[in-house]
Structure 1
């Protein structure tokens, strides 16, 4: 489970499998290869998932450099799109009261 991502103006999921051994430079290079000319955009979070769907990495620009985030689930796995046809819209989910 991810906490509310209210601090981000946009969130992008990179479909498929990404080698999570990649660091900041390799992930930013991958984004450019995928057609994102300037991944250094404030408030934009890019999410990557590896072969095992129990961990993800995030890359976000903070104005003076990239911040890399890493999340590993203790139990369960993320439902990650492996190709573009599996991509769904991200909307904030709020529990009903």
Structure 2
């Protein structure tokens, strides 16, 4: 498994894409539909209609890279009813998605900040 840096932005494309698309076709979706530059430091994640495959497009300062994952059993828990063309997720949510979790239903504990101890 690839270890993605924690400091990288992750964007999920809302709609399923034709998985015959490769780097050029996915780059056009990133710029024209998602409204981002495909050259920014980010992972752009696409899912097929059956939600059994993912493609991840990213620029690594020397060229584009395309990573693909196919599930042999089960489906990815892709977010439903998104109003925007893309959704930004945290690196933690991205890892949950890869592991098969529905990250929209997972709620972490609230972060607390205190300034004094009694």
What TM-score do the two structures reach when normalised by structure 1? Answer: 0.77
The 5 Å alignment of 1:18-97 reads 18-34=17-33, 35-36=35-36, 38-42=37-41, 44-85=42-83, 89-90=89-90, 92=92
Contact 2:11-2:88 at 8 Å conserved across structures: no
- Aligned equivalents of 1:62 and 1:3: distance in 2? 14
4+ runs deviating over 2 angstroms: 2-8, 85-91
3-state SS of 2:66 partner? strand
Q: CA deviation at 1:3?
A: 6.0
Contact 1:56-1:71 at 8 Å conserved across structures: yes
Structure 2: segments with no counterpart, 5+ residues: 96-118
What TM-score do the two structures reach when normalised by structure 2? Answer: 0.65
Contact 1:53-1:80 at 8 Å conserved across structures: yes
